Every structure is written in structure tokens, then in C-alpha cells.
Structure 1
Amino acid sequence: MPLLSLSHVTQYTYRQPVAFGEHRIMVRPRESYDQHLVEATLDIDPPPSDLRWLQDVFGNSVAIATFKKRAKSLTIDSKVRVRHNPAPLQNVDIEDYARFYPFTYSSEEMPDLLRSIERQHLDPLRQIDHWARSFLDAGGRTDTLAMLSSMTASIKRDFTYVSRPEKGTQTPIETLTSRKGTCRDYAMLMIEAARALGFAARFVSGYVYSPTTRDTHVGGGNTHAWVRIYLPGSGWVEFDPTNGIIGNRGLIRVAVARDIYQAVPISGTWAGFPGSFLDMTVGVNISVEDPAAESYPQSRSI
């Protein structure tokens, strides 16, 4: 179980001092059976007049900062150390009734999964539906995990990754049509495609790292986005279409949500003269402290 050291620094700069409104900060990795938070600090400059923590409706850790002091910059510096336990792909053990598509979630699970199955984007020409169904086996039953793996691999193989520092996300149809986008664009496309087939899918915001020198994952240096799909027998399983990862290898979860706008790492307001805002910079650095990091079981990267 490798030990990781992670630094996430966000800085906003202004021409003259401005007043800061409430800021919502979601950068603390989630505690789970596969990732354990060893140490975490959150430094903010200027210091907030009040800083409180809460858990949102999805169980994500959120810091709420309020300020009294005006300043020409705002720096939010998160440092954590986390034990990560990547699970091998063979641990994805799907219940017999769900191993082949189509299937229906059990009556016990369906009420809690419904909102994660609902579509979030309009698809009047059913473009997403047609693309999603192209991964089904026309000759008979479709293996559930193989189909979702093929969809993940297709996005990595057939789409062009384009870094875009600006805020906002393309619609799934825009991503499908242009065949290019960022990790968050890819995640929203795959979520909508999975939901079109009746799967419960959620958006994940977090960090990606290369566990070994053999791995060359895309999306480092900033926050990363991918997908979790609910598979009976294994629960929520990670699918990263940007890197073709199935399972949690190289992926550190911070926020899980039904929609991307519920998982924004940092949001807040400021007040000052028009044109005061100059720039925002984000830097994410992850290092593997454990020298035995290459010895743990590996999940699939395609």
C-alpha cells in the first residue's frame, strides 16, 4: 500500500486589494477502504476569519472559509499524505444476474440509485444513445464489464485529449461530435452514455498519479476527473476514460457527485473594482514516498 505525498496550491491574484466572500473548498481526499488519510493540512492566506468543515449530501469533506481582511491575493494550500491501496481488476466481482447486459438493479438498490441513472443533458437526436449502443454485442448477450471496458478504451483511443484551463465543461454531444476534450468532458460523456444504457453513474473529482515509471497517465498537474459506475456485487467501480484505467490504480478520490457542478474543488466570490482580477494558477504535485510502491497488485490500464 504506497504512501503518497500530495500538494495542491491554488492562487488568485488581483490588481488591488479586494474583499473575499465565502469560499467552499473541496480538496480533502475521501476516507475509504482503499485510501486512508494519514495527515492533512489546509493553509489559507490571508487567514480566514472563520473556517468550518462539513460533509455534503454525498459524504464529501468541504471546508467553508469566510474572510474579513482585504488582500491582493488569495492562496489556498492543501497538503496531504495518503495511503493508497489499488485493487486488482479481478476484484471486480459482479453478481451473476448482472454479468451480462441488459439487467435491472435489485429492488433494494434501485431507489437509492435512481438519481444517478437519470440523464442530465438533452439528447434530442439520440446521438449519445446510438454511440452507447454501438458497444453492445449484436450477436447475443453483452458482457457487462467487457462492454464498459470497451467504452473506456474507445474514448482514450479515438478522442484527442486537449488541456483547457478555463472553467466550464462541454456538453456530451459537443465532446462526441468534436472527438476532443478534457478529462471532465470525457467523464461527462461516459456518464451520459452509461446512463443511456440504464447504469447508475457518478462524476469523480480527484487526482491522478503515475504509480511507477512505466505509467504515463494524462491529467497530472491539476485536478482530474473520471467516472464511477455501480455494478452489483462490487459496488461503485472506477472508470477513467482519459487514461483507459479500470479500477483505482493511480486515482485518488476527493469528491463524488451526481453532477460535475456538485464537485467543484474551489468556489467563492470576491468584491472590488471591475477588472481587478488578474490570474488564477493551480499546481498539483504528487510523489510516491513508499519505495515498495511497485510491488502492489495492479488493475488494468488500457
Structure 2
Amino acid sequence: MPVLTIEHVTHYKYRQPVSFGEHRIMVRPRESYDQRLIEARLDIDPAPADLRWLHDVFGNSVAIARFEGRATGLRFHSTVRLEHAPVAHHQIDVEAYARCYPFTYASEDMPDLLRSIERQHHDPYRVVDTWARGFVRNDGATDTVGLLSDMAMRIRSEFTYVPRHEKGTQTPIETLKKRQGTCRDFAVLMIEAVRALGFAARFVSGYVYNPSRGEGRVGGGNTHAWVRVFLPGSGWVEFDPTNGIVGNRGLVRVAVARDPYQAVPLSGTWAGMPSSAAGMDVSVEITLEDAVEPPTSARQAVAGSPATC
């Protein structure tokens, strides 16, 4: 099982001393059967007057820092060491009734999935709907995992990844028109598209790394964003449209939310002259202690064992 060390540093700089309001920090990975924390440390300079931890409505770990005094900089340094167990595409085991699209979620699951199926962006001309329906076969024989994999792969191959450090995301329609965006934009597009087809989907913020030298990953050097879709039999399954990943290989979850604004890694306020702000530096370094061999591509594996629809 690979062991990772993740160093995440965010440094705010100011030209003269400013005061700081409350800051909300989401950098501690979620613990689960596929990722186990060995060590987690959060260093803040200047030290906060008060630091407390809580779980938000989605079960994400959140640190709340409050400050006193003034300073010309504010630095957050998260160090995490964890075991990460890759779950590959061929391990996705969907219940028989859901292997072919369309299907209906079980009645006992629907009350908890409804808000994750609900659309978040206006689409009056059904632009996203039309694009999403293009992945459904006209004869009705559509493999569920194949549909979702094809969508992730299509975004990876036909859209251009362009880093953008400003907050917020493009609307799905903007991303479709521009054919480019960040990992956040691609995640939001895929979430809205699969929701248009009736799937429950959530936004994920975390880290991406190269499991081996033979695999390239886009979106490193900062936090990363992707999608989770609920599939009966396997639960929440990862799909990264930026890299075309199906399963969690190379992906470390930190925050899971219904909407991107609920999974911002770091947010807060400061008070001072508007000209005081001198910029922000962010760096993420991931060290892999135990490399593993790269798998067959996700699309090849899905094509090799299709469901009978």
C-alpha cells in the first residue's frame, strides 16, 4: 500500500501590518478504508489565539483559526502522512439492476441522494442536457460505468486544462462553449451533466499525485478537484475528468460537498489598507514512498468487460 507525505503551504503577504479575521481551513484528508492517516500536523504563523476543529455537515474535518494582533504575513503549513489504497476501475461492482442506464435508485437511498441529484445551474436552453444525452445510446443499451467513463474521458481529450488562481468556477455552459477550464470547472460540468441524467454526484477537493513514473497527472502543485457519483453496489465512485481517472488511483480526498463553495481549502478575512495585499504563494509537494505499477487505461478495462444491456 503506497505511503504518501503531503506538504501544503499557503503564504499570504502584506506590505504593512494588517489584522486577520476568522479563517476556515480544510486540508486534513478524510479517513476511510482506502486512505488512512498516519500523521497530520497544521502549523500557522503567526500562531492563532484560538484553533478548534469540527466536522461539517458532510463529515469533512475543518479547522477554525482566530487571531489577535497584526502582521505582514500569514502562513499555513499542513503536513500529512497517510496510507493510500488505490481502488481501480475494474473493482467497481455495480448491482445488476443498475449496470445499464437508465435505472432508478433504491427507495431507501433516494431521501439521502436527492440533494445530490438536484441541479445547481440554470440551463434554459438545455445545453448541458443535450451534451449529456449524447453519451446515451439510442437503442437503450447503455452501460452505466461505460457512460460515466466516456464522459470523463471526453472532457479530458476534448477540453484544454488552463490553470486559474482566481476563486470561483465557470458555469457548465461557459465551459462547454470555451472548451477549456480548470479542474474545478471540469468537475462542475461533469456533475451537472450526470445530474441531468439522474445520477447523484458530489464535488471533491483534494490532492492528485503520480502513482508511478509512467503516469502523468494534470492539476498538481495545488489542490485538485474531481467528481464522485453514487453507484449501487460500490457507493460513491471517483471520476476525474481532468485526468480521465476512474477510481481513486492518484487521488486523495480532503473534502466532499454538494457544491464547490462548500469545499474551499482555505478562506478567511483580513483588515487593513487595500494596497497592503502583496500576493499569495501556494505550493503542494507530494512524496510517494512506495510506488506501484500503472494499470491498463480506464477505457480499455471498461471496454474489456462491458455489462450486457
**1:31 corresponds to 2:31:** yes
Q: Deviations over 1:84-123 (max 9, x none)?
A: 0001322111011110011110100000000000000000
- Give the aligned residue type for 2:12: Y
1:1-302 equivalences in 2 (<5 Å)? 1-290=1-290, 293-295=291-293, 298=295, 300-301=297-298
Distance in structure 2 (CA, Å) of the matches to 1:232 and 1:55:
26
Work out whether residues 205 and 263 of structure 2, in 8 Å CA contact, stay in contact via their aligned partners in 1: yes
Cα offset, 1:299, TM superposition: 7.5
Distance in structure 2 (CA, Å) of the matches to 1:281 and 1:77:
12
Q: Which residue of 1 aligns with 2:305?
A: none
Distance in structure 2 (CA, Å) of the matches to 1:173 and 1:299:
32
Q: Deviations over 1:233-253 (max 9, x none)?
A: 000000000000000000000
Cα offset, 1:300, TM superposition: 4.5
Flag the 1:270–1:258 CA change in 2: closer, same or farther, 3 A.
same
Q: Deviations over 1:38-62 (max 9, x none)?
A: 0010000000000000000000000
Please identify runs of 4+ aligned residues in structure 1 that moved more than 6 A.
none
Distance in structure 2 (CA, Å) of the matches to 1:206 and 1:49:
27
Distance in structure 1 (CA, Å) of the matches to 2:4 and 2:80:
8
Distance in structure 1 (CA, Å) of the matches to 2:209 and 2:4:
9
Work out whether residues 6 and 284 of structure 2, in 8 Å CA contact, stay in contact via their aligned partners in 1: yes
**SS at the partner of 1:294?**
coil
**SS at the partner of 2:215?**
coil
Structure 1: stretches of 5+ with no match in the other structure? none
Identity over aligned residues, as a percent? 68
Distance in structure 1 (CA, Å) of the matches to 2:73 and 2:14:
6
Distance in structure 2 (CA, Å) of the matches to 1:210 and 1:147:
25
- Give the aligned residue type for 1:187: A
Distance in structure 1 (CA, Å) of the matches to 2:111 and 2:297:
31
**SS at the partner of 2:243?**
coil
Question: TM-score normalized by structure 2?
Answer: 0.95
Structure 2: stretches of 5+ with no match in the other structure? 300-309
**SS at the partner of 1:83?**
strand
**Alignment RMSD:** 1.1
Flag the 1:99–1:301 CA change in 2: closer, same or farther, 3 A.
closer
Flag the 1:272–1:151 CA change in 2: closer, same or farther, 3 A.
same
Distance in structure 2 (CA, Å) of the matches to 1:165 and 1:299:
33
Q: Deviations over 1:192-243 (max 9, x none)?
A: 0000000000000000000100011000000000000000000000000000
Distance in structure 1 (CA, Å) of the matches to 2:140 and 2:185:
31
Work out whether residues 3 and 82 of structure 1, in 8 Å CA contact, stay in contact via their aligned partners in 2: yes
Distance in structure 2 (CA, Å) of the matches to 1:299 and 1:103:
28
Distance in structure 1 (CA, Å) of the matches to 2:149 and 2:264:
27
Flag the 1:85–1:298 CA change in 2: closer, same or farther, 3 A.
farther
- Give the aligned residue type for 2:57: V
Distance in structure 2 (CA, Å) of the matches to 1:299 and 1:28:
31
